[in-house]
A and B are shown apart, each in its own frame.
Chain A
Amino acid sequence: MSVEALTLTLVVITFLIYIYIGWRSKVKDTSNFFVAGNEIPAVANGAAIAADWMSAASFISMAGLISFLGYDGTIYLMGWTGGYVLLALLLAPYLRKFGRYTVPDFIGDRYYSNAARAVAAVATIFISLTYVAGQMRGVGIVFSRYLQVDIVIGVLIGMAIVAFFAVLGGMKGITWTQVIQYSILIVAFIIPAAAISLKLTGNPIPQLSLTFSDIAQKLSILQVELGMTEYLAPFTDLSAINVFCVTLALMIGTAGLPHVIIRFYTVKSVRAARWSAGWALLFIALLYTTAPAIGVFAKYNLITSLNDTPIEQAESYNWASKWEETGLLQLDDANGDGVLTFTNGADNEVVIDPDIIVLSTPEVANLAPIVIALVAAGGLAAALSTASGLLLAMSSAVSHDLYYRIFRPDADEKQRLKVGRLMIFLAVMIAGYFGINPPGFVGEVVAFAFGLAAASLFPAILLGIFDKRMNREGAIWGITTGLAFTVVMIALMRSVPVFGTEAPIIESFFGINAQGIGVIGALINFIVSFIVSRRTPAPPEEIQQMVEDIRVPRVSEK
């Protein structure tokens, strides 16, 4: 069977599985729809969080990004895993004890204010929306690359699948589909990594061969010889202050992302919430410790097979000609000496797109076509699982927080479920629209998502649990100032794509770039909240009692 036929078969099989699970998990009440009836086991929730978390970008692009940043690629590795420690220790157990449906639920109740609830709901919608557009685009790209299907049709197929199991099964359908999607994506990621690791170092475990072999050293030396930055040396691509701030901003932002937080509401108990954070990070770490190894191996392999190679020989590799067609790889013997030169200077003759690091590995390592098909299915699983989690976060913010808690507190169970389904359907349509017509600054909005989560939701939730004296005034002022500062700073620094100016209005904030500015936003939020809360009346007695209650696992007997 050809690679295309194999890929198509595998993709169809996985989609049928998702549809089957969605059908099996159809739900009839809001508790099942929003939080899967609080009955997801800890390990399954861990896998679902991992699938929720690891997007098309983690799967396809991250290893490539790291291989181009070298040491400084740690911003993504530590930034996107360190947040789970904050979640597990500071937020997850207490939010589970609080035991409602959404993040705005907690903020609205804890700060006895519908204004705070509305702000949190809008932040949730904005954060999730910026994120989901990229996922739908990812689905379309995988379809077009592997199956030569038009991107628009790819996005439409993805929308149909997500809409089916999310509308029918809500959180329950999404969770069990995500468990399967995690399994597919991790197998698809590990097999090529193990193969290239075995080929280059004789050890199939990528993490071990990265640490114990000399391949990273060799790559580092090779890069210096070719005029690129020293791979193993810190701060060659980003300044130290930026590596620090971006890492911390991504950590805090991760802990504040609503679609991740709501997953902790789905487990049975406080205890299960703590354990599921561990399982989640274990499943995530499998990919996140493999990615830097693939980055090193694939880059070393690409440089050694292309640099100083006669162009005819390079073009005779079947992977080279295939990826040249897609434009991800460009080979051009500019000086006409018949040999390719790979450098950082003007005489460079090899241009590679970071995405090729993961995508080309199965072919470079000479793996069977079924593995290539598996990588396509894995990329789709990663994009679809993240999209479905985000869609639920968005729709619950609208249907539960805005519609039910603020506008129609008298709505009955049936109406609420109907609005929930309707909203998720609407969210799929909006996400699909942005997938087909991506706003020009898709890449930029991810900085917004993490910055906003770090500057608004994370401090408000944290203080709500650990500072009993924190009150409505403090929280609202804190969120508003943190949010305003972050939005203005990112917009000014990214004014080229956002406002269409010729140069950024400001380059950086005391050396901190747009990705790292969320740290300062969070700091402002903390400081303002603290000062305002101490100058305004303490929260009412029953709120203080509620804080006492969420701090212990046992339900207090009234």
Chain B
Amino acid sequence: MTHVRQNQTPRHPRHLERAALVALVAISLCACQAGVSSSVGASKQAPQPAVNTPPMIGAAHPSPAPPRAVAHAQPQVGCPCCSGEADYAKFSVAYDQKNPPPTATQAPTVQQVGYTEPCGYPGIPGHAGGLPLNAWIGGPHDGYTHPTAHISQYPYGVPAGVSAWAPAGVQRPWPHDEFIFDGGDKQPHVEVAPDWTVHGLQLEDTVAHFDTLDGRTLVEPANRVPLYAPRFAAVRKVYGIEAHHHRTPALVHDQPSQVVIEQDAQLAVDADQYLHMRTNLGIKSPITNLEERGPVTLMVQLTPETFLENFAPYEDLQIIRAGIYDNSEKARLSQMAAAATVWTIKQAPQVILDETQPLTAVVETKAQETVKYELAGKPRLRIVKVANRTEARPGDIVEFTLRFDNIGTQTIGNVTIIDSLTTRLEYAPDTAQCSRRANFITEENIGDSLVLRWEIIEPMKPGEGGVIRFRCRVR
């Protein structure tokens, strides 16, 4: 105590100099952090990784990446007008060096007729004498000479900075009416009753629920996968002489008519005479007893027959193949999950990392004696969803892959994965696969689509996981 007071005595000038130096360093550090806070803003909100996080059980499953790293997967939203100009120029030069200049027969038939007015976005200066960078200008020079030129107008990939326009401050993907989504857990969230009845399951929801050793049933949502798939319809109106309403006068009038015939009550002509009974027939008991039974619930349980043990290119991710979250795959995973912004929501970091502390359950407490049952570890299930494409037209087939892993330190059971497809997605029959033994059940949902349900038969030990695949046709 005395020492503390001695340290709080008036400072020596050397102390003042040191304090000023420390203050300057602190101010500069704050300025640096403010400069980068816009790009890693989510990292501040993400929970800090626990220092005493126990290692994962299972040598093949190292601990996942901290959530701060996940936040870096968000794409940088910059000026779409200027940010990618330099890269775009590099791309053009590289392309010219690789391929000879186009001939007259290879050149695209661009019919641009004298449109040279500069234009830009509101508030953003446009490029002098040209269109905005992301305006459709008819293709990349002579993309026909490249064998993959038919994929898009960027045969060597989209140059950096060239991205779809979106208003500033709006979370992508945007606009929402051009996308269909699958995955996540919308409000109200899914809850599972003690009899495993699922409540709150809506269209697009993809969740997994499981039972823990201490008798709880937990629900874990998957990430949300957007799919660019606009669909169109039309409203028609015909103008013409047939379309006019012509008011015609009534030709027939309903006139109430009076009663013409009156029916009088007539006396009865015939009279039946009662006859006495001659024989007495005995009452016989029924021979056959038909019993009515209530309807029997018919539940079709389909077991996935086969599981193709080959990975598609879009599944070539460590988190899908082995359940290992690799930092170097964040960008590709974000692309496969179709939006890096998905990983900035709070659910994903909370799923991946959380403080793993022993759970204490007080079962019996008496006056002189206290008995405690301690269940070490915490149950956790991670479920990741990816799609093999980010865009689709009506009629296209989209393949989804779900990777689920027990990343906790307890064995979990009754793992059930539920995917309620949106209206625009139609499940392709007999395409469901599961790498673990499971019952596969389908039932209709409110969107005239299906709810896919996988009931994993065996409990999952810590570190175990599985893969589910299925295909959908875009309506």
Partners in one complex: no
Give me the interface of B with A, judged by CB distance under 8 Å.
none
Using a CB–CB cutoff of 8 Å, the interface residues on chain A facing chain B are none
